[in-house]
Amino acid sequence: MNGKLHGIHAPHRKNTVDSAPTRLPVPPVITVPMSMNIGAPAKPVVKPGDVVKVGQMIAEAGGFMSAPIYSGVSGKVKRLDEIVSANGRFDTVIVIETDGEQTVWEGIAPPTVTDKDSFVEAVRQCGCVGLGGAGFPTSVKLNVDPDRVHAIIINGAECEPYITSDTRTMIDDAADVIYGAQLLQKYYTAERIVIGIEDNKPQCVKIMQEAGKDVPGFEVAALPALYPQGGEKVLIYNTTGQVVPEGKLPIDVGAIVINCTTLAVIAKYIRTGMPLVEKVVTVDGSAIAAPQNLIVPVGTPIQNILDHVGLKCEPKKVLYGGPMMGTSVPSLEAPIMKNTNAILAFDEKDAADPVPTSCIRCGRCVSHCPLRLMPAAIERAFDDKDPETLKALKVNLCMECGCCSYSCPARRPLVQVNKLAKAMLNKYNAEQKAAAEKKAAKEKEKEAV
Amino acid sequence: MNNMIVSVNPHIYAKDTTQTIMRDVLIALLPAVFASVLFFGVKALLVEAVCVAVAVLCEWAFQKICRKPDTITDLSAAVTGLLLALNLPVDIPLWQAVFGSFVAVILVKQLFGGIGQNFANPAITARIIMLVAFSGAMTTWAAPAFSDAVSSATPLAILGAGSTEGLPSLLQMFLGARGGSMGETSCLALLIGGIYLMVRKVISWHTPVAFIGTVLVLTALLGQQPLYQVMAGGLFIGAFFMATDYTTSPPTPAGKLIFGVGCGLITVLIRVWGNYPEGVSFSILLMNILNPYISGWTRTKPFGGVQA
C-alpha cells in the first residue's frame, strides 16, 4: 500500500573500496571536542599537565543523553580550549600533546557483561555514538525493554558517495560485526537480525552472508543502490515493511537500527576493553592526490590527514562525511570526531556554489523525495512566511538527505530552505503552545475569582 | 583566516539544469520541424526562425528594460517561440507571427513574473489570441505535399462537416500529409520527440497517455472515428509538448493523470459539440486555469505523516 520509496541515483565514486585502512603517523597534537554526540557535551576529567594514555577516559558523560570520551593517544594534556565547531557553536576541546609512544592505559580490561543492563552499561562506557553520522548516544538507543524489540537492523548501506569506511568494517571486521549481532540477539531476543547493504557492494554482501551463516535469524538484505538507503526510516521500511510514524521512534515499530561500525566498536570493547578512540576515515575528493582509508585517533586535525595523503591543489571545500549530507568545515584545524567517517576535499570547480535560478515547477524535488514531501511547495510557503502550510506539508519530517537540492535543475537551495522552514515551524508551534497555556492560565484565574 | 567555502548540503548535483531540459525539448521538436519543411516547404522554416528570434528578443528586451537578470540562455523563450510557430499555418503573415511571439513571451510569460510563474502555457495562449484576432489567416490551410487531396481543409473540418470525402488515409494522417498547422500534422515526428523526452525523463507518460487515451475512448464511445480523432488536429503536439509544460501542470503523477483526462474530455466536447472544429488549445488553457486546484487536491501523502 505504501509502495516503493523514491531516491536518487547518486554517483557511487567508491574509489577507496580496495584501500585497506593504514594508520596515520601519530599527529603531534590532537584536539578532542566535547560535543561529539546529540545531547549534552561530555565533561573533561583531566586538567593541563595530566599525563594520558591510549584508552584512558579524558571526559565523562555530561548526563543521560551523552557519552564519555577516551584519549586515542598517549601524551600530556596541554590545555582546555574553546573552538567554533563546524555547526557554528562554541565547543570546549581538550588539547593533547602526543609523545608518539601510543602507550596503552593499564586500566584496559574487558567489561563484565551478564545481562541486558550490564550490556547497555558497557555500551555506555565504550563511548559509542551513532557512527553513521548521527552521533546519537548508542546506550540511550539500546536502553529499551527487550520485549519490544522484534527486529535488529544493522546499517551497512553506506549510501553516500565516496565513503567506504563502513565497507571496510564489513570486510576487515566482519567477525566483530557478527559478534555484536550475537550479543544484541542474546540480550534482546529479536526474531530477526538483518544487515542492509546496498547491492553496489557485492563483496560485503558475500562476506556478511558467509560470516553470519551459523547465526540463527541472521540475514543479509541486498538493497538497491538508490540513495538514501541508509536513512533510518528508509532502511526500516525496506527491510521490514514498517513505517515509523511522525513523532515516533524505530522502537515503536519494534526495530533497533544500528550502524555496522558502531556495532563492531561495541563488540571490540566487550572483547578487549578498548573503547572508541580511533576511526577509519575515507579521505577522498577532487583535491586529494591519493584517495585512501586511514585509521586516525579521534581529535586528529584535518590538516594532518591532508598533509599525509597529499593534495593535488588547494582545497576550496572540505567536508565531514559524504557529499549528500556532509558538513563543510570552516577550517583545516577542525578535528576528526567520533562520527566522522570521511574527509572529502574538493578543488575550486567542485567547491563552487551553484547559482540558483527560478523554480520551473518540474516536480523533480517531489518525485525524488524519499519521504514524499513537496520541497517546492515548502519553499513557497516559507517565502510566504506561512507556518500553517508548512505544518500541513510536514516539513518537520524532512531528514535533509539532499535529494531535492541534488535533483533540482534550477539549483534551488531546497535543503537550506527546509532547515529554515523547520525552525520557523518550531518557533510557531512554541508560540502557539505558549499562547494556549497563557489563555488556560487566565481562564483558571477567572474561575478562581 | 582562510578562504574555504562553507555551504549547506548537498555538495554535488545532478547534471540536468533548466537549460539542458529546454535543450532537450528543442531537440525533441526537431523531427516536427523537419516534417513541417517536408510537407509545407522552406517557408515553414522561415516562420519558425522568425517566431524563435522574436521570442528570444522580446525576453531579452523585457529583462533589459526591467533590469532583471537575463534568462534567454535557459532556452525557454526559444522553446516558446518554436512551439508557437509549429502551431501556426505555414502561410501566416509574418507580422502576425511576430505579434504572436510578443504576446506569448511578454503578455503571458514575463508580465506574470517570467519562467515558472506564468499560469497558462505561453504558446497555447498566444495561439488562441491569434485565432481570435486573425481568424482568417489562422484557419487558411495550405495543401501539404505528398497528398492527393486537392482540398486543404483539415481532417477535423471534414469530419465536422459530416463527410469522409477528401479525408486522408490513416497512414497519411500518421506521417503528416494532411492539412493543419505546420508542426502538428506529423504524428510520427511528434511521437519520436515525445518518446525522446520520456527516455530523457524530461516528461512522464502520465499526461500524454491520459490525454490521448481519453480522446480515443470518448470518441469511440461517441462513434466518432477514434483513430482519425486521435491523429487529427493538434492532439499529439498538445499532449506531448504543451500539456506537459512544467509550470502550468501538476507535479504529481495523480495530478498529471487528472490533468490529462480533463484535457481529453474538453477536447472531445469542443470537437463534437462545439463551434470550433478543434479543441486541444482551449482544453489545455482551461486545464491550466484548474492546475492550482488539481495540484492542491493531489498533494503527496508524506511518508509516516500523521494527520493532525
Tell me the DSSP string of B223-251.
TS-HHHHHHSTTHHHIIIIITT-STTS-S
Contact B306 A317 (CB under 8 A): no
Minimum distance, in Å, between the CA of residue A283 and any CA atom of chain B: 16
CB atoms within 10 A of CB A236: 25
Res. A448 pLDDT band, cuts 50 70 90: confident
How far, rounded to the nearest angstrom, does the alpha carbon of residue A199 sit from its chain's CA centroid?
21
First CA to last CA distance, chain B: 48
First CA to last CA distance, chain A: 55
The number of CA neighbours under 13 Å toward the Cβ of B24 is: 19
Domain residue spans in chain A?
115-273, 278-351, 364-448
Cis peptide before B10 (omega within 30 of 0): yes
pLDDT of residue B149: 57
**Which chain B positions have a beta carbon within 8 Å of A373's beta carbon?**
300, 302
Inter-residue contact B282 to B270 (CB < 8 Å):
yes
Q: Does domain A278-351 have CATH number 3.30.365.10?
A: no
Q: At what angle do helices A260-272 and A174-188 cross, to 10 degrees?
A: 80
State pLDDT tens for residues B61-99: 999 999 999 999 999 999 999 999 999 999 999 999 999
Inter-residue contact B82 to B29 (CB < 8 Å):
yes
Q: How would you write the pLDDT of chain B (308 residues) with one tens digit per residue?
A: 468 899 999 999 999 999 999 999 999 999 999 999 999 999 999 999 999 999 999 999 999 999 999 999 999 999 999 999 999 999 999 999 999 999 999 999 999 999 999 999 999 999 999 999 999 999 888 888 877 655 567 888 877 777 777 788 888 889 998 889 999 999 999 999 999 999 999 999 999 999 999 999 999 999 888 999 999 899 999 999 999 999 999 999 999 999 999 999 999 999 999 888 889 999 999 999 999 999 999 999 999 988 76
pLDDT of residue B142: 85
**Which chain A positions have a beta carbon within 8 Å of B76's beta carbon?**
360
Inter-residue contact A69 to A32 (CB < 8 Å):
yes
Pairing of strands A69-70, A57-60: antiparallel
Give the nearest chain A residue to B117 (CA atoms).
Answer: A360
Res. A54 pLDDT band, cuts 50 70 90: very high
Distance CA(A377)–CA(B298), nearest Å, equals: 12
Give the nearest chain A residue to B116 (CA atoms).
Answer: A360
Query: Measured between CB atoms, does B68 come within 8 Å of chain A?
Result: no
Average pLDDT of the segment spanning A40-46: 95
Average pLDDT of the segment spanning A209-218: 91
pLDDT of residue A261: 95
Minimum distance, in Å, between the CA of residue A316 and any CA atom of chain B: 5
**Which chain B positions have a beta carbon within 8 Å of A407's beta carbon?**
14, 16
Instruction: Give chain A's mean pLDDT.
Output: 94
Domain residue spans in chain B?
18-297
> In the predicted model, is pLDDT for residue A348 greater than 50?
yes
> In the predicted model, is pLDDT for residue A1 greater than 60?
no
> In the predicted model, is pLDDT for residue A263 greater than 50?
yes
Minimum distance, in Å, between the CA of residue B250 and any CA atom of chain A: 8
Angle, CA of B88, B106 and B296, to the nearest 5°: 90
Inter-residue contact B124 to B285 (CB < 8 Å):
yes
Distance CA(A341)–CA(A133), nearest Å, equals: 7
DSSP class of B14: -
Give the nearest chain A residue to B10 (CA atoms).
Answer: A324
State pLDDT tens for residues A309-347: 999 999 999 999 999 999 999 899 999 999 999 999 999
State pLDDT tens for residues A164-207: 999 999 999 999 999 999 999 999 988 899 999 999 999 999 99
Average pLDDT of the segment spanning A113-131: 94
Contact A328 B11 (CB under 8 A): yes
Fold topology of B18-297: Ammonium transporter fold (1.10.3430)
Minimum distance, in Å, between the CA of residue A367 and any CA atom of chain B: 7
Residues 388-407, chain A: which have Cβ within 8 Å of B?
391, 393-394, 397, 400, 402, 405-407
DSSP class of B281: H
Question: pTM here?
Answer: 0.92
Residues 407-436, chain A: which have Cβ within 8 Å of B?
407-411, 413, 415-416, 419
Fold topology of A115-273: Rossmann fold (3.40.50)
